[in-house]
Amino acid sequence: MFSFIHKIKQWYKHQKLIKQSVLIPITSYDQYAALVKEAKDNSKNKVFSNCYMLPAEIKRLIHLKKFYKVKTEQGLAFADDEGDYYYLFLYVNMSVSFTFPSLEKDILIENVYYEGRKNKKQEIFESFLLDSGCEFLNTYRSIEDRPSLSPDKFFKKLEVLEKTLALEGKKIAIPSYKQLDEFEKVYRSIIDKFVQKKYTRKERKAQADAGYLYCITDESASIYAIAIKACVHGGAYGSRSDCQNNIYAPILVLYLFKDFYDNMPNNPVKEKEYMQSKGIGGWIAVDNIPSWRVYKMVGIKAAAKSMNQFIIRTTM
Amino acid sequence: MEKLYTLLEEIRPDVDFRNITTLVTDGFIDSFDIVSIIASIEDEFAVEIPVDSMVAENFESAAAIMNLVNGVKK
């Protein structure tokens, strides 16, 4: 009941913020590009930005009507409405003080940097955020997307785990359209709300069609654990709350790499090149020890980037 | 061109910018690398890269990046 009333209050304040032009919906990519150009042209000093999104992602947000310009005293701020919070990115002159707007949801701001090589501007940006009232939230480290297990070891491990699963009457499958609601329910129960994205049903269907989604299921089509390939915003994996201490999630993480090993060239030189090729990895909180253990199992290591998250909590 | 290679190798010393021509397609660089490359190029070459230039084809190779820089210089 509290949650329902809270949602209505949030919706009311959201509409009010739009009426007051604190949140201005962005309706086209050209509008976004023109605003960024104007902010850069009008600033005496070079503006700093923590926007790491490519045009395709911005266009997706505009298409979903989730993208806003936020009224600020200086610079430019854009908010991506992620449902439970706003992901904010800025184009700002860091030598001028900045006040974050008061919105109806928490505001998340990220600063990405190369681990051990945070540059001066990135350091200043973090001080700028703290001085502007943000609170440090967490540090994440990127992971490689390429396992370092040899093909023999990989298939041996997978075979053992799949046999164990079969003995329980379960199997790994791509979720059917009918299972997508249950898939989404498990996903929403396991995600780190400040890292993983929420997708529409249409987007999920497309992801299932592309073979990016897997689950552990049984003859009754119940879902016990899910996994999403890293190409979908860094991927995700996890088990239903009553299956947390079993092997389901680790099996799926292993299985995510089956295609990679299936396509391994049958030639030692090419195999080495293939193992060293690159792909899209994900992010893990530095203090998420269980997750680091699972990735270690398939020989996945930390990669070059880290990210600090900062938050402005809503007073609503 | 050598100035660009130096800049790129400073950002991602682990990537072979002199030979790879599928930097984005094959996942050698991601959106954060692209943003970092743009920031360095803007400082070093005194140009401004418009946000709508942040598309994969402009960053697939060092040559494509150089074309982008030359294009905005004009």
ipTM entry:
0.83
pLDDT at A257 over 60: yes
Which of A143, A167, A198 is the last residue before a domain boundary? A143
Q: Is A292 domain-assigned?
A: yes
pLDDT digits (tens, 9 = 90+) for A171-192: 999 999 999 999 999 998 887 7
Position A280 confidence tier, pLDDT thresholds 50, 70, 90:
low
Mutate: best of B8, B10, B30, partner A, most A CBs <10 A: B30
Its pTM stands at 0.82
Q: How far apart are CA A253 and CA A237, in angstroms?
A: 7
Chain B closest CA to A92's CA: distance in Å? 14
> Are A167 and A286 found together in one domain?
yes
In a shared domain, residues A110 and A68: yes
pLDDT in tens, B18-56: 999 999 988 889 889 999 999 899 989 989 898 889 888
The whole-number pLDDT of residue A297 equals 81
- Give, rounded to a whole angstrom, the gap between the first and last alpha carbons of chain B: 17
The first and second tokens of residue A277, run together, are 């090729």
* Position A298 confidence tier, pLDDT thresholds 50, 70, 90: confident
- Same domain? For A124 and A163 the reply is no
pLDDT at A279: 65
Beta bridge partners of A281: none
**A277 reaches B (C-beta below 8 A):** yes
Tell me the CA distances in angstroms from A104 to A18, A44, A83, A107, A217, one per residue in order: 11, 32, 11, 9, 39
Share of chain A above pLDDT 90, in %: 54
Closest Cα in chain A to B13: A304
Mean pLDDT of A243-262: 85
Mean pLDDT for B66-70 is 94
Is A245 within a domain? yes
Exposed / middle / buried, residue A177 (Cβ in 10 Å: 0-12, 13-18, 19+): exposed
Count up the domains in chain A and report the number: 2
Number of separate domains in chain B: 1
**Residues A266-276 pLDDT 10s:** 888 888 777 77
Average pLDDT estimate for A212-231: 91
Q: Could you tell me if A82 and A130 lie in one domain? A: yes
End-to-end CA separation in angstroms for chain A = 16
Rounded CA-CA distance A57/A26 in Å is: 13
> 């991601």: which residue's tokens?
B30
Q: Which domain holds residue A23?
A: 2-143
Q: Are A76 and A90 in contact (CB under 8 A)?
A: yes
- A312 assigned to some structural domain: no
Same domain? For A129 and A171 the reply is: no
